[in-house]
Structure 1
Amino acid sequence: MNTALEDRPIHSWLTDMDGVLVHEEQALPGAAEFITELRRLGRRFLVLTNNSMFTPRDLKARLARAGIDVDEDSLWTSALATAQFLSEQSPGSTAYVIGEAGLTSAMHDAGFILSDVDVEFVVLGETRTYSFEAITRAIRLVGEGAKFIATNPDVTGPSPAGPLPATGAVAAMITAATGIEPYYVGKPNPLMMRTALNRIEAHSETTVMIGDRMDTDVKSGLEAGMRSILVLTGSTREEAITSFPFRPTAVLPSIAEVARVVERTAPTREQELGED
């Protein structure tokens, strides 16, 4: 085990979902046991995803079908992070939203009025049905001065048939037509990590981020001041790690090995009381 991972107790855990806990609709080995171990030891945790399409209820059901029991309150999406960020910037304002229920529900719940005229924000998320009409409307609104926000920079998303264009690819079209770059809220923006930490009242110094991507998960964890674990069950292959100018704290084969770390790095009762 990397001694840097164990040099101080781990009070809280953040973990990416796809490529760490699940692959498509199947649980990865050790994922259910990892969540069970966190609960047994009373560790605070959140499961994160850059995908803005689904509500926490949708994601809870998806994980349950794979045999992983996660409460809705333990799921944090780029849609939720975007809605929270915008509500802090301009509460109760009007937005034109391109996305599915995960994003529109989050924006509604945060108090926004959704419209296609006289809007303060154009908010772009993921959908399986990007329409030329909606993209054209977004281009015109951004050109008229609406602030351009995107939930995440991912240019493709997975599907059984192969890659699909995702938020970052459609954002590039709007940027090409307007000259305006969006502000991306999701990973690798460390804002997503900081909002997650605040949600569970955790400290970056005693929290670890688990992910399968160097360019999003590890980078955003590093920039938010957390230790990180890269698992090799998703996007980043071990031989690719050295091509990045930064390193994860530890590299492990899968979440099954992380589950075995949880008890070993848990704080004592005295250490927990000292943090509080």
Structure 2
Amino acid sequence: MNLAELRNRLAKVQGVMFDIDGCLVLSDGPSGHGGNALPGAREAIEIVRQTGRSMAVFTNGSMQTPAQIGASLRSHGLDVLDDEVLTPAVVAAETMQTLYQDRPLLVFGGNGVQHDFERRGLNLVDHDRAIAGEPTNAAAVIIGWDTDFGKDKIQTAAEAVLAGAEIYCTSDAPSFASTQRLNVGVSGFIAAGLSHVTGRPYRVLGKPSVEAIAVLTDRLGVPPSQTLIIGDDLTLECRMARTAGALGALVTTGTHSTADAAATSAEQKPDFVVDSLLGLVELLSLVSEDTPAHLG
């Protein structure tokens, strides 16, 4: 895509999704906790606001609630509202409500996972009763960030799956962008183990799933064709953009590089690459100069 084509596509963008880790912030903790805002993060959010576009930030981590993530981002000086924060747990809760209504759900994860299920009043299986041997009658097993997932939970989850429950995973990303130490993923590790034990496949609900795309575009209030998705991971944000038919951008401050983007498959190739969000700010500024009132 040449510069003229890119500017034309950007001029049509009315909603922007930012990844968090490796895009807006970088740390060894969840969603930038204890880390720093990356260059251009504040300015990128500011120009999205100034041009009247809608915005969402979307992490593939489910350790924290949207409110906790929003507070963490604001502590870095980033103008993000709690209801602009999406996590795989938000997608999972909304999807389960649609698919299973009031049927029992066996959900594994801390407050970052349980919060949205409880807020929606979904029918959650009591873990203690299930571990004690009481049948769960679960329609689905949802695996999130659960660092206390031991043998008792494996037993309970496996029994539910073998009795007919479907397996869902909030995210199976092996790791997240970090400053020094490997920031490992937990949910996918558990889901893969449960799949191994039961012989049943699992479905991922976080990025880049069609479920995540549906929740994102609903939250932004714009169609995918008018959405920009930007992040540091070709397999997550860039693949999500390609799947959705959105404009996709890679920022090379996290997981993947410009060389990675050049060598990757068509299914996850970004439409453009920037070295930092300052590059996105420059492009959006050019578009704003060309069409100063394009969003009214």
**What TM-score does the superposition give when structure 1 sets the normalisation length?**
0.92
Indicate conservation of the 8 Å contact 2:169/2:203, yes or no. Answer: yes
Amino acid at match of 1:37: I
Amino acid at match of 2:51: L
Q: Tell me which residue corresponds to 2:245.
A: 225
Q: Tell me which residue corresponds to 1:152.
A: 171
C-alpha separation in 2, matches of 1:42 and 1:64: 20
Residue number among 32, 51, 66 corresponding to 1:56 in the alignment: 66
Q: After the TM superposition, which of the residue ranges 130-139 and 48-57 deviates more from structure 2?
A: 130-139
Q: Tell me which residue corresponds to 2:146.
A: 127
Indicate conservation of the 8 Å contact 1:5/1:227, yes or no. Answer: no
- After TM superposition, the structure 1 = structure 2 runs for residues 9-88 of structure 1, keeping only pairs within 5 Å, are 9=11, 10-24=13-27, 25-88=35-98
Gaps of 5+ in 2: 28-34, 131-135
Q: Please report how far the alpha carbon of residue 57 of structure 1 lies from its aligned counterpart in structure 2 after TM superposition.
A: 0.7
Which deviations, in whole Å up to 9, do the C-alpha atoms of 1:132-175 show, x marking residues without a partner?
Answer: 32222111211111111111121335676534352111111001
Indicate conservation of the 8 Å contact 2:172/2:185, yes or no. Answer: no
Gaps of 5+ in 1: none
Q: Please report how far the alpha carbon of residue 110 of structure 1 lies from its aligned counterpart in structure 2 after TM superposition.
A: 2.4
Q: Please report how far the alpha carbon of residue 248 of structure 1 lies from its aligned counterpart in structure 2 after TM superposition.
A: 0.8
Q: Residues 270 and 252 of structure 1: is their aligned pair in 2 closer, same or farther, counting only changes over 3 Å?
A: closer
Residue number among 262, 265, 275 corresponding to 2:287 in the alignment: 265
C-alpha separation in 2, matches of 1:94 and 1:204: 33
Q: Residues 193 and 148 of structure 1: is their aligned pair in 2 closer, same or farther, counting only changes over 3 Å?
A: same
Q: Residues 127 and 176 of structure 1: is their aligned pair in 2 closer, same or farther, counting only changes over 3 Å?
A: same
Q: Tell me which residue corresponds to 2:4.
A: 3
1:235 matched to 2:255? The reply is yes
Indicate conservation of the 8 Å contact 1:93/1:120, yes or no. Answer: yes
Residue number among 163, 169, 172 corresponding to 2:189 in the alignment: 169
Indicate conservation of the 8 Å contact 2:177/2:254, yes or no. Answer: no
Which deviations, in whole Å up to 9, do the C-alpha atoms of 1:150-207 show, x marking residues without a partner?
Answer: 1112133567653435211111100110011111111121331221111121121121
Indicate conservation of the 8 Å contact 2:207/2:237, yes or no. Answer: yes
- Share of identical aligned residues, percent? 26
Q: Residues 69 and 201 of structure 1: is their aligned pair in 2 closer, same or farther, counting only changes over 3 Å?
A: same
Q: Residues 253 and 161 of structure 1: is their aligned pair in 2 closer, same or farther, counting only changes over 3 Å?
A: closer
Q: Please report how far the alpha carbon of residue 5 of structure 1 lies from its aligned counterpart in structure 2 after TM superposition.
A: 2.2
User: Whose helix fraction is larger, Structure 1's or Structure 2's?
Assistant: 2
Q: Residues 2 and 213 of structure 1: is their aligned pair in 2 closer, same or farther, counting only changes over 3 Å?
A: farther
1:137 matched to 2:137? The reply is no
Amino acid at match of 1:2: L
Residue number among 181, 197, 202 corresponding to 2:217 in the alignment: 197
Q: Tell me which residue corresponds to 2:32.
A: none
Amino acid at match of 1:138: A
SS at structure 2 position matched to 1:202: coil
C-alpha separation in 1, matches of 2:103 and 2:243: 30
Residue number among 236, 246, 251 corresponding to 2:273 in the alignment: 251
Which deviations, in whole Å up to 9, do the C-alpha atoms of 1:71-116 show, x marking residues without a partner?
Answer: 0111111110111111111212211111111210111122312114
C-alpha separation in 2, matches of 1:101 and 1:4: 44
Indicate conservation of the 8 Å contact 2:26/2:177, yes or no. Answer: no
**What TM-score does the superposition give when structure 2 sets the normalisation length?**
0.86
SS at structure 1 position matched to 2:256: coil
Q: Please report how far the alpha carbon of residue 238 of structure 1 lies from its aligned counterpart in structure 2 after TM superposition.
A: 1.7
Alpha-carbon RMSD across the aligned residues, in angstroms, is 2.0
Would you say how many aligned residue pairs link Structure 1 and Structure 2? Answer: 273
C-alpha separation in 2, matches of 1:262 and 1:92: 45
